Structure formats: C-alpha cells, structure tokens
C-alpha cells in the first residue's frame, strides 16, 4: 500500500501542484524543488533539548490573562550547522507555552506576519465555535484575531496549531504548533513534580535536505524526529522524578516510546489526569495524542544516561543524569476520578476510508469535507456513542473530535488499550479496526469539525462537521 499512501500525500517532491489540493500553495511555500533531495546526516546528541518558553501575559485583568503571539517565518537550526526556514509561533519550532488556569479565562491575540493565511485551533480545548479555529475562519496576512479560551475544563496538556482549510497539514508541518497547558487548582495538592521538573516535550518528524531545507513531501520520508525543536538532543536531568508531557505533533505517524532504564508512570492523557497512576513500559501516541508521564531517575548514577527510543525511528532523546537533587514530589496512588458517564441516547457510525477508484480521495462516510455541509446535528447536552470504523484494510488512521473530551468504550468489541485511558480527544485507529467513543456535548452551540488527525488525510478531505443546536 506504499503506492497509495504516497499518492494520498499532498505533494510529491517533484510535483509543483497536486490535483487533490483545495488551495494552491501559498507564496513562499512551494514544494521544495524538483530535485532529488540529498538526505541530511545529523550528528546525534550534540545539542541540548530546549524547554519551550512560557508566555508572559501582556495584561492581567479581573476578566483574565491576555497574551499576544506572532505567527511568523523564522530561520531555525533544527539540525546542527544548517538553517531551516519555518513557520513559527513567536520564532521557535515549539513556540510559547501558554499556561492557563481552570476557571480563569485567557485571551490570545495572534498576529499573522506570514505571507500565507492562517488560523489557530486549540486542540483539546472546550471553547466557543468562533474561537475554535474553524477551517473557514482565516487570519489573512497582516491581520490579527483574538481567541478566547475560557478554561472551563480540567487541568490538561493541550496544544495549538494551524487549522486553515486545506493547508493545515503543510502549515503545521512547517512549524505551527505549541503547547497550551491548563493548570487546575483542584490538582495543586497532589504534589506532582512541578516548576523546572514539569517539562512539555513535542515530537514531530521532518524531511530535511542536506542544506537544511524543510521538504514538504511524502510522510514516510520524514525520518528525522525533532524533539522540542532539535534532532536527537540530550537533556540533562537530576536523579529524581520529572513530569514530562509528551505530545505527538507530527502530521502523520505513530510513536511507541520506551526507555532503556528508569521508570515510566502515566498520570494523564489528552484531557487530564487519570484516576490512578499506571506503570508503563512504553507509550504509543498517534498524531495529536498526549501522554502525561512521570519518569523517575532516582537511583540512576550521576554520569550515566537513559535513552528514549521509538520502536521504528530509533533513538530520539537522551537523558543525561548530571546531578542529584532533593525530591519532595509524589505520585499519589489516587489522582483524580473521571467524570461519571451519563447514559447515551444517540448512536452514530463514522467511517474513515479512501476512495481509490481514481485519484485517491480521503473520505468520511463516503464524502470529502465540505465546510458548507453539516454532517451530524447534535442536541446540546446530549450524550452520544460514536462507533468509528477504519474501513481501509491496509491504511492506518486516527480520529479526533473538536469541542469535547470523550471516553473510549472499547475497540473492535475488545477491551480498550492502556493508551485509551482517561479523557481523550484523539485516538488511534489501525487499519480495519473500529473504536467506540462516548461524548457529552455541553455548553456551546455551532459548527465544529471532527477528522482523522493524520493531517495529510484531513487536509484533503477526511474531515466532517457537526453542529450543536438547542
Ligand atoms: Cu489538532 Cu482539528 O485538530
Ligand atoms: Cu482539535
Ligand atoms: Cu487518516
């Protein structure tokens, strides 16, 4: 199926246009050259993994905190010694982390300094439709838009990225992705590792030419894993517990991450904390998913290192134990109970499948995305069970819903996997399988999308729209 996967990706390296692309490429973003790229060789573990900067509010009022973020081009050093042109939030591959607090609203003004249109979606956020970064809500070059995030949701690791109609795959690939953390006063007493010991880690993969040019080509050629903006970095740690919030922000792919040494305990997933900590030997994350983890380096001798590897891409990040440190943090045996599951009153089926009869087209329930069509009408307050099917026999997908955090009930009639625990907004959907999800649609009315989060699929049609009504 590699042929179909290739055809289904938005731009072959040698092609200047793609028949399935709803938009021409924006100025300055044309597919990177009709030449055979020479792959870049990267010297491993030469540079330190950066911790994304935490954004400072430009204003704090009774009504909440206000931030400003520039969406702009920047030249970055993803690999040592070469320069890569990227699209960024605030000038970095992982831009400013916005830290909201449950119950306290945030307003972010995004200023578009790109030559391309953009918009911003808070992935995992429970927000009004006008603030959700609907594909047709665009910020034109030179313009700005305010997004309001009420933070009326539990503590969670969210992220923001481009979602502009037809171009979100390319724009997100080029660097428009950052963290948004919701801190929750109801979790302050738990004593989890905090401050310098609470580190968000974003994994993305890229294809780079030998001169550092970012190549917008086939997903399967993206062999370099970028960790917080650097390829194969090291990260100095003390021999104690850390909270790491792993995010797979890659356009199209699944990581299975494990450590050679040291203990991984999962404490949360997409939408917040789990009821109790879960020891994990590895975690699997498809595009868009998060895992909130505690890694305990206690007892590992200073001077040694611990390798984090992906099951297919190999070594991605090396933790170097460089010191000892006091550690008053805990992993309590009980974290936070999940909200009760109300009784569902509506059942729906969602089918993800490519149409291979001609030029491959990614579809949901037999149709490509149409922003003018409402696929599901949902009554506000309703609880629904969606059975989402991957009806492709050889192609993996995944599934993401805006507006809600859902729960996984089961997979192809079998118990869910450990990676499905807790409040989720994105789940894996391997070829030929199905997953049953339950969600309650509260608070907001209007149109929201749901889609495969392999962005080359969603950008080119594997997306649909629900409308929440009174
Ligand atoms: Cu990461 Cu439609 O979202
Ligand atoms: Cu989303
Ligand atoms: Cu897909």
Instruction: With a cut of 70, say whether residue 5 has pLDDT above it.
Output: no
Asked if 270 and 361 sit in the same domain, the reply is no
CA neighbours closer than 13 Å in the CB half-sphere of residue 362: 32
Task: Indicate whether 25 belongs to any domain.
Answer: no
Q: Is residue 27 part of a domain?
A: no
Residue 40 CA to ligand 2 centre (angstroms) = 32
Alpha helix segments (H runs only) across 145-203: 168-173
Residues 52 and 173 in one domain: yes
- pLDDT bin (cut points 50, 70, 90) of residue 327 is very high
Residue 10 has pLDDT above 60, yes or no: no
| Over residues 136-157, mean pLDDT | 98
The whole-chain average pLDDT of the chain stands at: 93
H or E stretch covering 59 = strand 59-61
Atom of ligand 1 nearest to the CA of 159: 1
For residue 196, give both structure tokens.
């310098």
How far away, in angstroms, is 121 Cα from ligand 2 center?
6
Tokens 């089926």 belong to which residue?
Answer: 349
pLDDT at 35: 56
Report the pLDDT averaged over residues 258-287: 96
Q: 428 CB under 6 A from ligand 1?
A: no
Report whether pLDDT(386) > 50: yes
Does residue 295 form part of some domain? yes
Identify the pLDDT of residue 27: 33
Residue 277 β-bridge partners = none
Domain end marker among 154, 185, 216: 185
DSSP 337: P
Do both 55 and 132 map to the same domain? yes
Report in angstroms the alpha-carbon separations of 335 from 102, 115, 153, 277, 294. 17, 46, 16, 7, 13
Q: Is 123 close to ligand 1, i.e. is its CB under 6 Å away?
A: yes
Look at the chain and report how many structural domains it folds into: 3
At residue 262 the predicted structure's pLDDT band, cuts being 50, 70 and 90, is confident
Q: What is the pLDDT of residue 337?
A: 98
- Stronger pLDDT, 120 or 32, i.e. the higher one: 120
Q: Is residue 31 part of a domain?
A: no
pLDDT score, position 45: 96
Whether 37 contacts 209, CB under 8 Å: yes
Please check the confidence at residue 125 and state whether its pLDDT lies above 80.
Answer: yes
Residue 236: pLDDT above 50? Answer: yes
How large a percentage of the chain has pLDDT more than 70?
92
| pLDDT value at 34 more than 70 | no
More confident residue, 24 or 159: 159
HSE toward the beta carbon, residue 163, CA cutoff 13 A: 24
**Is residue 397 situated within a structural domain?**
yes
Whether residue 274 has pLDDT greater than 90: yes
Residue finishing a domain among 323, 358, 387:
323
| pLDDT computed for residue 29 by the predictor | 38
Q: Are residues 356 and 439 in the same domain?
A: yes
Ligand 1 binding pocket includes 451 (Cβ within 6 Å): yes
Q: Distance, CA 140 to ligand 1 centroid (Å)?
A: 20
Q: Give pLDDT, residue 282.
A: 97
Q: Tell me whether strands 177-183 and 144-149 are parallel, antiparallel or unpaired.
A: unpaired
Asked if the structure places residue 7 within a domain, the reply is no
**Does one domain contain both 296 and 378?**
no
CA distance linking residue 408 with residue 422, whole number of Å: 8
pLDDT value at residue 227: 98
The verdict on the CB of residue 163 being under 6 Å from ligand 1 is yes
Contact 131, 149 (CB under 8 A): yes
Helix (H) or strand (E) holding 93: none
CA of 455 to the centre of ligand 2 (A): 11
Query: Tell me, what CATH number does 290's domain have?
Result: 2.60.40.420
Which is nearest to 423 in space by CA: 122, 158, 178?
A: 158
Q: State whether 367 and 462 are in the same domain.
A: yes
Asked whether the beta carbons of 396 and 354 are under 8 A apart, the reply is no
For residues 237 and 50, the answer to whether their CB atoms sit within 8 Å is: no
For the chain, how big is the Rg over CA atoms in Å? Answer: 21
Q: What is the pLDDT of residue 69?
A: 98
Residues 211 and 293 placed together within one structural domain of the fold: yes
- Asked if residue 200 and residue 316 are part of one domain, the reply reads yes
Model pLDDT, residue 261? 83
Which of 292, 323, 354 is the C-terminal boundary of a domain?
323
**Least confident among 29-38, 323-332, 406-415:** 29-38
Q: Is 400 in the pocket of ligand 1 (CB under 6 A)?
A: yes
Strand duo 177-183 + 98-101: pairing: parallel
Examine residue 373 and state whether it is found in any structural domain, yes or no.
yes
The answer on 221 and 263 residing in a single domain is yes
Structure-model confidence comparison of residues 419 and 11, the more confident one: 419
Q: Whose CA is nearest to atom 3 of ligand 1?
A: 123
- CA triplet 383, 388, 391: central angle to 5 degrees? 165
Residue 204 and residue 167 share a domain: no
Instruction: Give the domain extent around 357.
Output: 346-469
**Residues 167, 105 within the same domain:** yes
pLDDT at 36 over 90: no
The reported pLDDT for the residue numbered 76 is 98
Structural domain includes residue 399: yes
Sequence-ordered list of residues with C-beta below 8 angstroms from that of 417, at least 6 positions apart, any chain = 284, 411
- Assess whether 309 and 387 both reside in one domain: no
């Amino acid at each position: 199926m590699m042929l179909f996967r290739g055809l289904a990706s938005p731009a072959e390296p040698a092609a200047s246009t793609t028949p399935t692309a709803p938009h021409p490429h924006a100025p300055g973003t044309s597919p990177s050259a009709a030449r055979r790229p020479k792959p870049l060789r990267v010297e491993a573990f030469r540079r330190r993994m950066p911790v994304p900067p935490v954004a400072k509010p430009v204003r704090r009022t009774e009504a909440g905190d206000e931030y400003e973020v520039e969406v702009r081009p920047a030249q970055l050093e993803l690999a040592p010694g070469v320069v890569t042109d990227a699209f960024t939030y605030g000038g970095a591959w992982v831009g400013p982390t916005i830290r909201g607090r449950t119950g306290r609203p945030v307003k972010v003004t995004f200023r578009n300094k790109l030559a391309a249109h953009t918009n911003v979606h808070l992935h995992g956020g429970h927000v009004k439709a006008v603030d959700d970064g609907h594909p047709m809500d665009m910020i034109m070059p030179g313009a700005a838009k305010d997004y309001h995030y009420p933070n009326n949701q539990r503590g969670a690791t969210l992220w923001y990225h481009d979602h502009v109609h037809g171009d979100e795959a390319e724009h997100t690939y080029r660097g428009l992705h950052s963290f948004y953390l919701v801190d929750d006063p109801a979790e302050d007493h738990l004593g989890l590792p905090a401050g310098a010991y609470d580190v968000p880690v974003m994994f993305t993969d890229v294809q780079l030419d030998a001169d550092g040019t970012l190549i917008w080509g086939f997903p399967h050629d993206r062999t370099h894993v970028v960790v917080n903006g650097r390829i194969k970095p090291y990260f100095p740690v003390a021999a104690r517990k850390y909270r790491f919030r792993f995010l797979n922000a890659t356009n199209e792919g699944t990581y299975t991450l494990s450590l050679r040494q040291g203990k991984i305990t999962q404490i949360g997933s997409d939408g917040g904390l789990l009821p109790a900590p879960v020891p994990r030997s590895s975690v699997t994350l498809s595009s868009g998913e998060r895992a909130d983890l505690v890694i305990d380096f206690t007892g590992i001798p200073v001077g040694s290192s611990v390798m984090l590897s992906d099951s297919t891409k190999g070594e991605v990040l090396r933790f170097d134990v460089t010191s000892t440190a006091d550690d008053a943090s805990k992993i309590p045996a009980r974290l936070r109970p999940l909200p009760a599951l109300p009784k569902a009153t509506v059942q729906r089926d969602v089918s993800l499948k490519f149409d291979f009869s001609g030029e491959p087209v990614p579809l949901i329930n037999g149709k490509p995305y149409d922003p003018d069509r409402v696929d599901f009408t949902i009554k506000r307050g309703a609880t629904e069970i969606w059975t989402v099917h991957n009806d492709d026999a050889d192609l993996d997908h995944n599934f993401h819903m805006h507006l809600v955090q859902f729960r996984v009930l089961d997979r192809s009639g079998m118990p869910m996997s450990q990676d499905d625990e807790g409040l989720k907004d994105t789940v894996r959907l391997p070829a030929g399988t199905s997953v049953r999800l339950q969600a309650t649609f509260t608070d907001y009315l209007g149109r929201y999308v749901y889609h495969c989060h392999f962005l080359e699929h969603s950008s080119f049609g594997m997306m649909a729209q629900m409308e929440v009504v009174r």
